[in-house]
Every structure is written in C-alpha cells, then in structure tokens.
C-alpha cells in the first residue's frame, strides 16, 4: 500500500503526519514535532 493510501485511512491530521513521517524510517517524537511544526501545549 502506498503512503498516501495509508494516510487516507487515518482521519486525524496529526496521526497522518506521524504516519507519513515515519513510513520509511524511524523518527523520534522530537524530530517529528520539529519537522511538522507540532507545538506542545502545556495543560
């Protein structure tokens, strides 16, 4: 299955980004947040 097809099965935008960002190789959570501009919000 192609990465785009896999990402379309995920409805959440952040989940799709994580799936695409880790499809070919492992990536740390910190690297994913930097790569996709995901900002951590403190509650």
Q: pLDDT tens digits for 21-39?
A: 888 888 888 888 888 887 7
CA distances to 1, 12, 28 from 32, in Å: 22, 16, 6
pLDDT at 24: 87
The more confident residue out of 1 and 15 is 15
Contact 10, 19 (CB under 8 A): yes
| Structure tokens belonging to residue 4 | 């785009």
The answer on pLDDT for 16 being more than 70 is yes
Could you give the maximum distance between any two Cα atoms of the chain, in Å?
37
In the chain, where are the structural domains located?
Answer: 3-36
pLDDT at 7: 61
């Amino acid at each position: 299955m192609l990465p785009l097809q896999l990402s379309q099965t995920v409805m959440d935008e952040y989940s799709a980004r994580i799936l695409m960002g880790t499809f070919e190789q492992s990536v740390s959570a910190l690297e994913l947040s930097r790569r996709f501009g995901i900002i951590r919000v403190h509650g």
